[in-house]
Amino acid sequence: MAQEYKLPAVHHQVAVTIPADMQIPENFKLDKNKQLQCATCHGIADIENIPLEEIDPQATDFLNGGPYQKLTNFCYACHDKQDNQKLNIHKMLNKQQQVNQDHCDFCHLEIPDPAEPPGKEVLKFRLPKAKLCWGCHLKTPHLNAITHQQKLSDKMLEQLQKTQDQQQIRFPLGEDKQVICITCHNSHQYGVLDADSEAGKQIANTDLDTGISYQPHAWNEVYQQDKQKRLEEAGRSVHELTYQRLSTEVLLRLTAKDGSLCRVCHSFKD
Ligand code: HEC
Ligand code: HEC
Ligand code: HEC
Ligand code: HEC
Ligand code: HEC
Ligand code: HEC
């Protein structure tokens, strides 16, 4: 391994010995001293001899076993997930599927009773609803999240209210009738709120360990080839646009897989 290699300023340790209690997956090859080397983590052959600016961190094999939707899933290949996981406050049901109130006050000032909801007007939160998720989540947790934080046009508002009435699902908006995180997301694990109520209608998946996950789409290759030329002309990398299919969804008020969620506000006809 090239010892003189200048790694990016913030980078994982290299050439360290594996602690006895750490399990390294078989396809993560250690060097002859049984220490971490570049090839333990990176699938790009000879990465230590490639100039930094020529390395594409979006390449599929940039990280072994990749691409990873969440970088932490890569970390958990070696580090123990249990010890390192952030507290997932959306887990609100215990093993008996009963509501555990431990995490309610991350958001609520007074914990409302799901059996007798007091009405949305009287709910009190730690922060304005539009900011409730920030701090733990980025303002831009995914593509389009920031562009969505806008006031609805009259047409969209009308369409949203129609869906709300027809399907009896609540899509809360911010104070200026703008889209906020909870317009699309329900922050309660399925089963906490009455699943038939407007506030509780959401995707019926309680598996928050898998969470939202993706699978590579068979069309991806074709899709990227098609876009490659145009993107190159625009000076952008084709990897910015991957065509992926949602494989599991959680904490969403309606499914996005088939576009139902999007059609609450958008109509694809025009
Ligand atoms: C324990 C795993 C691990 C080892 C060992 C490792 N890396 Fe990395 N490397 C990473 C991770 C994780 C990232 C950051 C990925 C991200 O933030 O998306 C990274 C990022 C990089 C990048 C940055 C690319 C960019 O443009 O941001 C380069 C270059 C790189 N590594 C080269 C090396 C080289 C050369 C070695 C061997 C000397 C090495 N790495 C060893 C895990 C590792
Ligand atoms: C191939 C296995 C492997 C992968 C993958 C890996 N690590 Fe490590 N990591 C190690 C080893 C080995 C050490 C050094 C021994 C130790 O400190 O536990 C280490 C040490 C660390 C340390 C220093 C621990 C301390 O107490 O100082 C941090 C922080 C860390 N890793 C974070 C990460 C993150 C974040 C990722 C994902 C981006 C990651 N690791 C991916 C193997 C790995
Ligand atoms: C991440 C933030 C967050 C956490 C944690 C949270 N809630 Fe909520 N809760 C909200 C938001 C936001 C609303 C209001 C949504 C709306 O405007 O309809 C709400 C509304 C409610 C309602 C009213 C439903 C209705 O029919 O109007 C009840 C009941 C409720 N929460 C119970 C709980 C309980 C019990 C817990 C803990 C087990 C909890 N919440 C944890 C954010 C949270
Ligand atoms: C106290 C911190 C905290 C708050 C507040 C919080 N979250 Fe989370 N949320 C988490 C953690 C931790 C996870 C687990 C996954 C991770 O580590 O990102 C998570 C997971 C999620 C996921 C699922 C992602 C997946 O693939 O597993 C969604 C969606 C989500 N949160 C939406 C929200 C929304 C919407 C709000 C605001 C109403 C909110 N969260 C408030 C900490 C928080
Ligand atoms: C227009 C609807 C919409 C809005 C607004 C929205 N989301 Fe999402 N969110 C989704 C959909 C759909 C997914 C799953 C597919 C995807 O990533 O595009 C998702 C995924 C997530 C995930 C999981 C990402 C991952 O890859 O694991 C988190 C965390 C999350 N959202 C948090 C938030 C937070 C925080 C906000 C507010 C800043 C927000 N979302 C605003 C629709 C929305
Ligand atoms: C609650 C209403 C609402 C929902 C639900 C919604 N959108 Fe939007 N969307 C908006 C608003 C408002 C804008 C910004 C104004 C505009 O472009 O008309 C927007 C803009 C967009 C844009 C153009 C801006 C950009 O980010 O490039 C795209 C693409 C988009 N939405 C896709 C989606 C998809 C995909 C879904 C379903 C996962 C979705 N939207 C769900 C309201 C919504």
Per-residue pLDDT tens for 104-155? 999 999 999 999 999 988 999 999 999 999 878 877 777 677 788 899 999 9
The reported pLDDT for the residue numbered 3 is 41
Amino acid residing at 150: Q
What mean pLDDT comes out for the span 202-221? Answer: 72
Q: 147 alpha carbon to ligand 6 midpoint, in Å?
A: 7
Taking alpha carbons only, the member of 211, 213, 219, 220 closest to residue 60 is: 220
pLDDT at 207 over 60: yes
Task: State how far the Cα of 75 lies from the Cα of 63, in Å rounded to an integer.
Answer: 10
pLDDT at 84 over 60: yes
Predicted structure pTM score? 0.70
The reported pLDDT for the residue numbered 241 is 42
Task: State how far the Cα of 223 lies from the Cα of 242, in Å rounded to an integer.
Answer: 8
- Ligand 5 pocket at CB < 6 A: 69-70, 133, 137, 139, 141-142, 145, 148, 179, 181, 183-185, 211-212, 246, 252, 256, 261
The domain segmentation of the chain, as residue ranges, is 1-85, 213-248
Give the three-class secondary structure for 83: helix
Cβ contact 188:195 at 8 Å:
no
Q: 83 alpha carbon to ligand 3 midpoint, in Å?
A: 28
Sign of the torsion angle spanned by Cα atoms 244, 266, 258, 261: positive
Q: Whose CA is nearest to atom 37 of ligand 6?
A: 262
Joined together, the tokens standing for residue 64 give 């072994």
What number does the ligand 1 atom closest to the CA of 15 have? 5
Q: Is the CB of 111 under 6 A from ligand 3?
A: yes
Lowest mean pLDDT among 44-58, 96-110, 130-144: 130-144
Q: Name the band, by pLDDT with cuts 50, 70 and 90, for residue 214.
A: low
Task: State how far the Cα of 252 lies from the Cα of 126, in Å rounded to an integer.
Answer: 22
pLDDT at 244 over 90: no
Task: State how far the Cα of 171 lies from the Cα of 186, in Å rounded to an integer.
Answer: 9
The reported pLDDT for the residue numbered 235 is 55
Q: Is the CB of 109 under 6 A from ligand 3?
A: no
The reported pLDDT for the residue numbered 138 is 74
**Comparison of pLDDT for 135 and 169, the residue scoring more:** 169
Task: State how far the Cα of 33 lies from the Cα of 112, in Å rounded to an integer.
Answer: 58
Could you tell me the end-to-end alpha-carbon distance of the chain, in angstroms, rounded to an integer? 57
Task: State how far the Cα of 128 lies from the Cα of 181, in Å rounded to an integer.
Answer: 12
pLDDT at 89 over 80: yes
Q: Whose CA is nearest to atom 36 of ligand 2?
A: 75
Q: Write out pLDDT tens, residues 252-262.
A: 999 988 889 99
pLDDT at 191 over 80: yes
Highest-confidence range of 8-12, 32-36, 137-141, 241-245, by mean pLDDT? 32-36
Q: Whose CA is nearest to atom 39 of ligand 1?
A: 38
What number does the ligand 1 atom closest to the CA of 38 have? 37
Contacts of 245 (CB under 8 A, 6+ apart): 214, 215, 216, 217, 257
Cβ contact 112:200 at 8 Å:
no
